[in-house]
């Protein structure tokens, strides 16, 4: 059973060279990330738009839409997902084109995994500093102070309550299973019979009102609504 203070970060890896993709996936998993690999541009763009990821590592030479097109279309669609481009092209012109097109950072192949890891962590930290107030489903959550604002009230949350609420807010409108919540918020592997998720959902309902978090029988929990606060 593994344990971590933060929800595991979700990386989208868009890379069509299978050996690089599996290498990245393996190394990032070892460092506590959850990874999803996609191997063409259109799938990468759709996945990136799903809202289910914290950062995308994007190869430029992908089948279908190339990486430059993917990132340009993401930004055109107002996606703020951090994107780090990985590319064999190492000319200055390509770097500038990638960054002007909306990529956050750029690394050329061959690259050192340690450097990529450091850059991924930096991007995630910057993003968190940038967006410490999360607004969704009629709730505003200040993640640094763990204060929630809902129905005109300020609600102080514990660290775990805030982490659970943040995860529910980031996935507002979707049903999240107990197993996924246990893994994403507590960093545990699914453990049969643990009721810790239900206990914390009860705490949140007590603080935020019972109707916001819906029980979907046999499936899990869903935070109602996706409108902005
Ligand atoms: Ca490629």
Place of tokens 């609504």: 225
Domains of the chain from N-terminus onward: 10-130 (3.40.50.2300), 134-223 (1.10.10.10)
| Residue 118 Cα to ligand 1 middle (Å) | 22
Question: Listing from the earlier edge strand, what are the strands of the sheet with 213-216?
Answer: 175-176, 220-223, 213-216
In order along its 229 residues, the chain shows pLDDT tens digits of 344 455 689 999 999 999 999 999 999 999 999 999 999 999 999 999 887 899 999 999 999 999 999 999 988 887 889 999 998 766 667 777 777 788 988 888 888 999 999 999 988 887 776 667 787 888 888 887 888 888 878 899 998 999 999 999 989 889 999 988 988 888 776 666 678 999 999 999 999 988 899 999 999 999 987 544 3
| Residue 62 Cα to ligand 1 middle (Å) | 5
Cα–Cα distance, 205 to 109 (Å, whole number): 49
| Residue 23 Cα to ligand 1 middle (Å) | 14
| Residue 15 Cα to ligand 1 middle (Å) | 6
| Residue 33 Cα to ligand 1 middle (Å) | 22
| Residue 107 Cα to ligand 1 middle (Å) | 13
| Residue 161 Cα to ligand 1 middle (Å) | 41
| Residue 131 Cα to ligand 1 middle (Å) | 32
Q: Which one, of 201, 202, 207, 214, lies nearest residue 149 by Cα?
A: 207
């Amino acid at each position: 059973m593994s344990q971590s203070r933060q929800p595991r970060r979700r990386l989208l890896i868009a890379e069509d060279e299978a050996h690089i993709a599996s290498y990245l996936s393996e190394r990032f998993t070892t460092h506590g990330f959850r990874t999803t690999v996609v191997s063409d541009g259109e799938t990468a763009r759709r996945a990136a738009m799903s809202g289910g990821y914290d950062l995308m590592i994007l190869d430029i030479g992908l089948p279908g839409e190339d990486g430059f097109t993917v990132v340009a279309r993401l930004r055109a669609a107002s996606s703020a997902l951090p994107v780090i481009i990985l590319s064999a092209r190492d000319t200055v012109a390509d770097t500038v084109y990638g960054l002007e097109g909306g990529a956050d950072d750029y690394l050329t192949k061959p690259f050192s995994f340690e450097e990529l890891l450091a850059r991924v962590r930096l991007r995630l930290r910057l993003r968190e500093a940038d967006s410490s107030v999360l607004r969704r489903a009629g709730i505003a959550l200040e993640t640094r102070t763990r204060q929630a604002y809902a129905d005109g009230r300020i609600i102080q949350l514990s660290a775990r309550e805030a982490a659970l609420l943040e995860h529910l807010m980031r996935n507002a409108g979707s049903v999240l299973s107990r197993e996924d919540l246990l893994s994403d918020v507590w960093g545990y592997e699914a453990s049969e019979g643990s009721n810790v998720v239900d206990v914390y959902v009860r705490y949140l309902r007590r603080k935020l009102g019972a109707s916001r978090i819906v029980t979907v029988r046999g499936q899990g929990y869903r935070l109602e609504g996706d409108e902005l606060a």
